[in-house]
Amino acid sequence: MENVAVRIRNLSKTYTNGGKTTKALKNINLDIKEGEILGVLGPNGAGKTTLINILATLLIPDKGTINAFGIDVLKEANKFREIIGYAGQDSEKSAYYRLTAFETLIYFAYTFRDVKKGDIEREIKYISKKIGFSRKLNSEFSTLSGGEKQALIIMRVLVHKPRLCFLDEPSKSLDPVTAKKFRAFLKDFVRKEKITTIVTTHNMSEAEEICDRIVLINKGKIKFIGTPLEFKNIMNYTDKITLDTRLNKLLIAKLKKIPSIVKIKKTTKSTVIYTNKVNLSLLALTSILKNEKLEPKMTVKSATVEDAFVKVMGNGK
């Protein structure tokens, strides 16, 4: 797990289009570990797709180096292409409309990859069963729904088992149930096949669920690299307790003395208590409220990756 699969150094990319320049990536340094699932997160226009497209040899950076499994990616792109799989952000149309799903997978695998007939057919059947695609295999590509097209495009990447795969928002048009199935399968499959996977997403819980590590990009710069847990720990609280009433100053002062409470915020109609030990805080809080004969409605919510995201991005501005 600990070997570095891809080493990215000083990577920068500027787009010049119609006289306007956009700095999409600014001096990115990143090591991707062999076998890991790395999530790339960040707001719209952060540079995620640019990064993926450079890694997938679609774009040439202004400067920087990329070394993957001993291959100098920018100089030996064609050698590198033999071991990668790619599903771009706008690739849901990238197939021949009148071929069936099955034919599409066969066609692309044979044409572009060194695969054996029997292997690939077995793999197609296996994967479609796992993600619930089997009954669509004989449907024409044009008749597939948006999410089904997307699923097919992802399958196209996985059937030939690349060593390194790049998925740009793979679950974007999948419904929640399919997305869940897909995530479970993806995690399982790339582990089993030892496929190093780089995936971009806007879905924080998805990142939390499947990624070994996440990279946060904002305005072309890396803001954070680490495990989802480390990411969550950026927050100094683990849970938020919300009371549907505004507590008075005296009570707030009392609560602030409880060591497990880190912060209290009042809004127009409620009081939010941030804690790093939810059980202790709740005990103390209920006894204080009882003394005051108060019975506000209480909701407890754990800190999410989203919260950390907002925090990191907030600092970035």
Ligand X SMILES: Nc1ncnc2c1ncn2[C@@H]1O[C@H](COP(=O)(O)OP(=O)(O)OP(=O)(O)O)[C@@H](O)[C@H]1O
Residues that bind ligand X (CB under 6 A): 15, 17, 22, 24, 42, 44-50, 89
- Partner that binds at residue 47, options Mg ion, ligand X, another protein, none, CB closer than 5 to 8 Å by kind: ligand X
Separation CA 180–CA 153 (nearest Å): 17
Looking at the Cβ atoms of 44 and 111, the one nearer to ligand X is 44
Alpha-carbon distance of 219 to 139, in angstroms, equals: 41
By C-beta, is 73 or 305 nearer to another protein?
A: 73
Partner touching 42 among another protein, Mg ion, ligand X, none, CB below 5 to 8 Å by kind: ligand X
| Closer by beta carbon to ligand X, 50 or else 281 | 50
* Contact between 91 and Mg ion per CB under 5 A: no
- List interacting residues with another protein (CB under 8 A): 15-17, 53, 56-60, 78-79, 81-82, 84-86, 88, 90-91, 93-96, 98-99, 103, 107-108, 110-113
Query: Please, what is the minimum distance in Å from the beta carbon of residue 54 to Mg ion?
Result: 13
* Residues 148/140, Cβ–Cβ less than 8 Å: no
Closest distance of CB 307 from Mg ion, Å = 23
89 part of the interface to Mg ion, by CB under 5 A: yes
Q: With respect to ligand X, which residue has the nearer C-beta, 45 or 259?
A: 45
DSSP conformational letter for 292: T
**What DSSP letter does each residue of 24-82 carry, written as one string?**
EEEEEEEEEETT-EEEEE-STTSSHHHHHHHHTTSS--SEEEEEETTEETTTSHHHHHT
Contacting Mg ion (CB under 5 A), which of 24, 38, 49, 87?
Answer: 49
Q: What is the DSSP string of 204-259?
A: HHHHHHH-SEEEEEETTEEEEEE-HHHHHTTSS-SEEEEESSPPPHHHHHHHHTST
Is the dihedral angle over the CA atoms 158, 160, 164, 167 positive or is it negative?
negative
Q: Is residue 127 within 8 Å of residue 189, measured between CB atoms? A: yes
Question: Is 58 or 280 the residue whose CB approaches ligand X more closely?
Answer: 58
